[in-house]
Structure 1
Amino acid sequence: MTQMEVVRISVGRPQALTHNGQTLDSAISKRRVEGRVYLSKVNFEGDEQADLVHHGGPDKAVCAYPVEHYAYWEETLAVKLPENAFGENLTLRGLTERDVRIGDIYQIGGAVLQVCQPRIPCGKISMRTGVPNFVKLFKDTGYTGYYLRVLEEGDVDANPELVLLERGQGMTIAEVNHVLFHDDANRDAMRRIIGDEAAAGSLREMLAKHLERLEKGEA
């Protein structure tokens, strides 16, 4: 694993997001935190979600995205992306989807976090970046980012030290993404994720339902 670093912490509240004549409320546009901020079980202070059905909650308390992918997207798409283009709370260096596993536990300032699921991309990313097919590109590349739950609340400085406390025993985020987007008939891999108690409950439930359909020949 390469050197780990928190590049920035960002928060945002819902606001109107308009693209191609469509307007909806979203908190995907976030601002960099300049000072100390408190991290609770559900979010950083000052961070909210507009769609509480698909976003937010303990297993989606913190969204992280690897800064390494920004250069890839900008070169591939010939665009200049804004900071926090993907609505992440933590922009990280040295922790790509291939580096982190379900169950990894990190300390960041006075808080302790655990990786629990990939970020499942939605259309708001296209609205934020202006790239119409970004959801498909996210899935194709596996450059999705990931979510972390908060095991211990605490204050976090704007430039905190990031420390790996415990390596998870689960699959990497990249491996989980491969199952979700490219190998969704892999029953053994799905059973492994379903049986991993560190994985988010919604992810395990989704895969359990899909596996049941496979077993019945309905998928």
Structure 2
Amino acid sequence: MTGRVVAVNLGAVTEAEWAGDPSGRSGIDKRPVDGPVLFRADGVAGDFIGERAHHGGPDQAVYAYAEEDAGWWATELGRDIRPGGFGENLTTYAVDVTGAVIGEQWQIGSALLQVTKPRTPCATFAGFWGVPDLIKRFTVRALPGAYLRVLRAGEVGPGDPVQVVDRPTHGVTIGEVFRATNLEPELLPRLLDAPDLPESIREKVRRRLAAR
């Protein structure tokens, strides 16, 4: 089955005590839009990002989360989770987001995206959902979703096919990076095989390996 975009979601400005930005504003509450949206190297047009110290930037221009993984959480928590409920720009279907290889390229609409890194759960996410132990539960579940670079700007809309047009042979996946950095440190050496992994993560890996 060909993967597709279920929804493209943009963040509205939310003011809350749990917002991580010093201004008390967050863009984690993302809502589906009806038509195509321009994806650029610096992010998604019209998307509000509050805490830019930890969100946004070229290596985190787009965040994708699988509808199937969201469904597991809906059952686990006994509540509906609409598209955008994870703060994702792209809600996907039939796309193996956790199994995506670091550096693989997705053609969606007229944009070309590249998988870079997993999402790290934060207190803002827990506050938005009102689940105090969400960080621990999200980490243990290890279905973090994927950040992507925009290699070629273009428009992406709901219903667009997601085509994997290039996949590196090193095989280091989003799930493996997440488990290595959070749950299974014995996997850390593998991460250095992925040249497209952001340098900030590669440097942290080198420091942790040197400290052993």
Global fold match (TM > 0.5): yes
SS in 1 for 2:43: coil
Q: How does 1:2-151 map to 2 (within 5 A)?
A: 2-18=1-17, 24-151=24-151
CA distance in 2, matches of 1:24, 1:74: 27
Tell me how far 1:7 sits from its aligned partner.
0.6
Structure 1 letter corresponding to 2:13: P
Unaligned runs of 5+ in 1: 215-219
Tell me how far 1:13 sits from its aligned partner.
4.1
Structure 2 letter corresponding to 1:158: P
Matched, 1:179 2:180: yes
Backbone CA RMSD of aligned residues: 1.8
**Contact 1:194/1:205, CA 8 A, preserved across alignment:** no
CA distance in 2, matches of 1:193, 1:155: 32
Structure 1 letter corresponding to 2:15: A
Q: More deviation in 39-48 or 162-171? A: 162-171
Residue identity over aligned pairs, in percent, reads 33
SS in 2 for 1:84: coil
**Contact 1:105/1:168, CA 8 A, preserved across alignment:** no
Q: Equivalent of 1:204, from 179, 202, 205?
A: 202
Question: Where do 4+ consecutive residues of structure 1 move more than 4 Å?
Answer: none
The alignment of Structure 1 onto Structure 2 pairs a total of residues equal to: 207
CA distance in 2, matches of 1:16, 1:89: 19
CA distance in 2, matches of 1:45, 1:140: 33
Unaligned runs of 5+ in 2: none
The 3 A distance-change label for structure 1 pair 96 and 123 is farther
Structure 1 length as normaliser, TM-score? Answer: 0.87
**Contact 1:81/1:129, CA 8 A, preserved across alignment:** no
**Contact 1:37/1:158, CA 8 A, preserved across alignment:** no
CA distance in 1, matches of 2:210, 2:203: 11
CA distance in 2, matches of 1:8, 1:129: 20
The 3 A distance-change label for structure 1 pair 50 and 78 is same
- For 2:158, the equivalent position in structure 1 comes to 158
